[in-house]
Amino acid sequence: MPGAPDAPARQPDKQQLNGTHVAFVANSSWSIQQYRSGVVRALLARGARVSIIAPPDRASESLQALGCEFHPLTLSARSANPLADWKCFSQLAKLYRQLEPDCVFQYTIKPNIYGSFAARLSRIPCFAVTTGLGFVFINDNLVARIGRALYRVALRSAKQVWFLNRDDLQEFLARNLVREQQTFVLPSEGIDLDHYAPGESQDREDGVFRFLLVARMLWDKGIGEYVEAARRIREEHPHVRFQLLGPADVENPSAISRTQLLAWQDRGLIEYLGSAADVRSAMANADCVVLPSYREGVPRTLLEAASMAKPIVATDVPGCRDVVRDGLTGRLCRARNADELTAALLAMCRCSRDTLQKMGQAGRLDVGSRFGEAQIVDIYLETISRLHNAIGR
């Protein structure tokens, strides 16, 4: 594809990036640590200087302990306040001028929009990484239309715009938000198969079947349909349990409150497990992982589940269908459709343990071949190495 880096022929040696300054901008430090730590570690090991620009959170100190520089950013993902967004842009423009990085990688909508404007003013090459289209493309209200209009203007100045699946790329091209020669499909943000390995589940009650949905608690993740499916199934099969794991009351227009989650729990529909820094224990104890989302980039939770050899039920939407092989590693159903979701979940309940195990094993082999973290790290290193060589470091 024009403008996209070729598959790397070799991994750059550890001396090749000495002196290169790479900045990462995101809506949380935690997301850098959780999804891009392999890239960050590889850059640091090769002598690069790495700056993290993000709102401070529990991961900020951990990133600094690795050797990253940390620069706090004031950013609210939920807010539509123009003054708050102007402050975010002003901070980014100031930091780009002060830090003078050789390139910047930006993630999610506000860093992509305001970071691209700031990079244009500072004449810094920036890579806008769209990790999923989310609220701005699922909805068509005024805020969503403004978001798409800002994308159209801001991304013109990006050196490249990276997508996690081809559906999202085509959506941007169809809406004339980006030029084709700028685009590149990054095959997910990678999964560490050694870290997310099949684990031993704890002893459980005989006959209990556990579904687990891991996500931020958003309506757009299909949680309403999941709860409705739970209501229907538990009326006839009370031994089937439906768990939710992930933060509530998050900064997102589609957020579900903790109060609502606890109300569902009080009615016996779901078990809300809260949030967790490490999801492996909950996944190990699940029989099937579910994500009935309306749209994704490449959902991390499904990569984690497949890596841990868990069968999956997900919606047939961009991102989810890139991970799940329908009938082989799990089942796909239509989005926003509680009837189809209920049928798919019931079918999973009725599968033999041997069938579920074979699905999980097939999923682990599949994500290992297509989404391994080492492949993604190589793409970043090759891209940065080319830029490093071009500027004569």
Sequence-distant contacts of 115-118: CB under 8 A, at least 24 apart: 115/25, 116/154, 116/155, 116/157, 116/158, 117/89, 117/92, 117/93, 117/154, 117/157, 118/89, 118/92, 118/93
- Looking at residue 7, its pLDDT comes to 43
pLDDT tens, position by position, 33-85: 989 999 999 999 999 999 999 999 989 999 999 999 999 999 876 566 678 88
Residues 162, 113, 168: CA angle, nearest 5 degrees: 35
pLDDT digits (tens, 9 = 90+) for 268-299: 999 999 999 899 999 999 999 999 999 898 99
Reference 76, options 253, 226, 268; nearest CA is 253
Instruction: Output the pTM of the full model.
Output: 0.82
Of 190, 184, 188, 169, whose CA–CA distance to 40 is shortest?
190
Kindly tell me the number of DSSP H helices and DSSP E strands found in the chain.
15, 13
Residue 308 banded pLDDT, cuts 50, 70, 90: very high
What is the residue-averaged pLDDT of the chain? 89
Going along the chain from its start, the domains and CATH numbers come out as 21-190+372-390 (3.40.50.2000), 209-370 (3.40.50.2000)
Dihedral of CA 127/130/135/141: which sign?
A: positive
**Torsion 143-148-150-155 (CA) sign:** positive
The reported pLDDT for the residue numbered 287 is: 96
83-110 per-position pLDDT tens digit = 888 899 999 999 999 999 999 999 988 8
Report the distance separating Cα 268 and Cα 378, nearest Å. Answer: 47
Going by pLDDT thresholds of 50, 70 and 90, the confidence category of residue 247 is very high
End-to-end Cα spacing for the chain: 27
